[in-house]
């Protein structure tokens, strides 16, 4: 499996997803226009950095599960499921960590045994039966890895979508507060006004972090 394909949609939000002007709501006869880099605001805010850290941890854990099962495909369905459950625990107990290590060690030992049998010239009937069992497990784990790969992608995409919605709400509130305080009539995202003056990104970043 090409694990480098895993979850390659990243965290930083594209400015094209915003595509709107952000009104400050300040009532004045003079039009005062500002700009804000919404991508930098979301990416560099405390909320954004927290999301990146969580995302990286989730991604690393799930890649580790897929990589282990992909490398040692002679797991039983029960072993694979338990490895997945224990690995995904946010705060496993010492007993659970020990159980995970024990199961992985058993799997590695079984894999070594499978390799030995694969090169043995004259197998006993029992050994031949065992080799056939390992082959069945390998096919089942291939199907499991493909299924989990899709499930993990969907899970990570759902996480990113939810963080995006909350982050946009926080960013809009910060931009609104700053624009009102500084008397701006309209604030545009820099993707729609790349050469605009009066960049409010730093001020909005400070305001957004103060609210977190």
Tally Cβ neighbours within 10 Å of residue 183. 13
Please state the pTM of the whole predicted model: 0.77
Residue 141's alpha-carbon distances to 41, 72, 80, 95, 114, in angstroms, are 42, 9, 8, 26, 15
pLDDT of residue 20: 37
Q: Are 208 and 57 in contact (CB under 8 A)?
A: no
Percent of the chain whose pLDDT exceeds 90: 68
pLDDT of residue 16: 33
Q: Are 100 and 86 in contact (CB under 8 A)?
A: yes
The dihedral over CA atoms of 85, 81, 74, 98, expressed in degrees to the nearest 10, equals 40
pLDDT tens per residue, range 21-80 = 444 444 555 788 888 999 899 999 999 999 999 999 999 999 999 999 999 999 999 999
Q: Is the sign of the CA dihedral 82, 83, 88, 93 positive or negative?
A: positive
SS3 23: strand
The confidence band for 193, taking pLDDT boundaries of 50, 70 and 90, is low
Residue 113's alpha-carbon distances to 62, 74, 193, in angstroms, are 27, 10, 64
Q: Is the sign of the CA dihedral 123, 124, 129, 134 positive or negative?
A: negative
**For the residues 194-212, what does the mean pLDDT come to?**
85
Which three-class secondary structure string do you get for 127-194?
Answer: HHHHHHHHHHHHHHHHHHHHHHHHHHHHHHHHHHHHHHHHHHHHHHHHHHHHHHHCCCCEEEECCCCC
Tally Cβ neighbours within 10 Å of residue 74. 21
Q: Which residue has the higher pLDDT, 6 or 38?
A: 38
């Amino acid at each position: 499996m090409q694990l480098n394909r895993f979850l390659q949609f990243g965290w930083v939000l594209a400015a094209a997803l915003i595509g709107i002007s952000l009104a400050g709501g300040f009532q004045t006869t003079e039009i005062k226009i500002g700009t804000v880099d919404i991508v930098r605001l979301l990416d560099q805010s405390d909320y954004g950095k927290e999301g990146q850290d969580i995302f990286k941890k989730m991604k690393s854990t799930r890649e580790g599960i897929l990589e282990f099962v992909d490398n040692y495909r002679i797991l039983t369905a029960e072993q694979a499921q338990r490895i997945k459950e224990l690995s995904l625990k946010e705060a496993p107990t010492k007993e659970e960590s020990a159980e995970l290590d024990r199961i992985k060690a058993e799997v590695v030992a079984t894999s070594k045994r499978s390799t030995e049998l694969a090169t043995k010239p004259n197998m006993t009937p029992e050994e031949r039966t065992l080799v056939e069992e390992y082959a069945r497990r390998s096919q089942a784990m291939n199907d499991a890895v493909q299924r989990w790969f899709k499930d993990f992608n969907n899970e990570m995409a759902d996480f990113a979508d939810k963080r995006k919605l909350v982050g946009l709400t926080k960013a809009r509130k910060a931009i609104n507060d700053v624009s009102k305080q500084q008397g701006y009539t309209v604030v545009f995202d820099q993707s729609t006004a790349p050469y605009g003056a009066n960049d409010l990104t730093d001020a909005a970043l400070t305001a957004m972090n103060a609210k977190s």
